[in-house]
Structure 1
Amino acid sequence: MITALVTIIILAALAGVATVATAGAPKEISLADRIDALLPQTQCRRCTFAGCRPYAEAIAQGAADINQCPPGGERTAKALARLMGVPPKPVGKEFGVVPDSPAVAFIEEDACIGCTKCIQACPVDAIVGASRHMHTVIAADCTGCELCIPPCPVDCIVMRPAPAVVR
């Protein structure tokens, strides 16, 4: 009985040591993860990919260039160049205009007809409202991707400078 108890205690201790040893080992961060961390996460699709993560994976695989992200601008392109060990390039004009400052969508609520098309288009759920009622943008969640503008049938969505964050 005592031998069995001692054996169980020793096995439990060894299992605990093995668990701690593997849990404490640093996990390698993939190149795609490091690239994705540099991207602005606007999910705007201007890079021609379905979002920031697919674009990061394409860069990591060599299937996309580092200069396809207008929301990230020159700063992101330079950071990607450093990470990838390649010369920096300006953001390609074919991917859109690089914004001078961060912007967020704003819905002119008097003109909004509550069609919900902007809500469906928003990749980050930054627009709230109900069918046939006015909608509004949660500025803190808006990434400025502009995907809500084209589907609006009454053109009541405009881009405005992002509000300053006070901490």
Structure 2
Amino acid sequence: MTQDDVDAIDALLPQTQCRRCGYDGCRPYAEAIAAGEADINRCPPGGQETADRLAAATGRQNKPLDPECGDASVARVARIREAECIGCTRCIQVCPTDAIIGAAKQMHTVIEQDCTGCELCVPACPVDCIDMPESAPETGQPLWPPSRDIDRERADHARTLFESRLRRLNQSTNRGQRADRHEATVDRRDAPDAETESRHRKAVVGDAVARARAKRKRAP
């Protein structure tokens, strides 16, 4: 597996970062495909055409989309019913592109052009105030596979946002670990360490992914 292989596969993915494929984002899925550890039919947002393109790029046999990952769907963008929002920040914690803004105990809202339609925020919301209507052509996730330059630009934008978020979270974790080493006298009972916070974030996201999958399975 080379970096060029991964880049070529990643370029075929819609960059929704929805985790329906079973990986932590489009890039990890691309790495797994390139390494021969994942099949090419696990990207519902990309649709069957993306699976076909991945098969052609990797020399593998064409396969229908894996129903375990969900059905192919139209482009959607999250909408928060702001009057019902309690400001719990759970949607902010799971959004892979930082497309939701707001503070604790204050109303949250979605930056439409940054939303990829991943749906992770929907099951994370404890008051069920987030909807996923079909997005207008000028907002939300790109149509995929792309037929216009703007769709590729939106996918690139989503990838940039996702990678920026990962760097920020990693930097925060590293700063916390350094602080732990230099502040050994801090009472850990009142100040959970960075590793604990990282595990909590992963648990929140993992729970949202599981509930999203369960909700899709229950849908008619």
Q: TM-score range by the shorter chain?
A: 0.7 to 0.9
Partner of 1:140: 113
1:60 equivalent to 2:28? Answer no
1:41 equivalent to 2:11? Answer no
Pairwise CA RMSD: 1.6
Give the whole-Å Cα distance in 2 for the aligned partners of 1:39 and 1:64: 14
- Per-residue CA deviation, residues 82-120 of structure 1 (Å, 9 max, x unaligned), is 111223211100011210x10011101111111111011
Partner of 1:71: 45
Give the whole-Å Cα distance in 2 for the aligned partners of 1:158 and 1:165: 18
Following TM superposition, by how much is the alpha carbon of 1:29 offset from its aligned partner in structure 2, in angstroms? 6.1
- Per-residue CA deviation, residues 21-73 of structure 1 (Å, 9 max, x unaligned), is xxxxxxx9611110001101111111111111111011011110000111111
Give the whole-Å Cα distance in 2 for the aligned partners of 1:29 and 1:45: 21
| Runs of 4+, deviation exceeding 3 Å | none
Partner of 2:72: 98
TM-score by length of 1: 0.79
Give the whole-Å Cα distance in 2 for the aligned partners of 1:140 and 1:98: 21
Residue ranges of structure 2 left out of the alignment (5+ in a row): 140-149, 151-220
Letter in 2 for 1:132: K
1:156 equivalent to 2:163? Answer no
Q: Report SS of the residue matched to 1:150.
A: helix
Match of 1:110 among 54, 63, 83: 83
Is the helix fraction higher in 1 or 2?
2
TM-score by length of 2: 0.60
Partner of 1:15: none
Indicate the structure (1 or 2) with the bigger Cα radius of gyration. Answer: 1
Give the whole-Å Cα distance in 2 for the aligned partners of 1:142 and 1:75: 22
* Aligned positions, number: 139
Letter in 2 for 1:70: P
* Structure 1 pair 64–157 and aligned structure 2 pair: CA distance change class (3 A): same
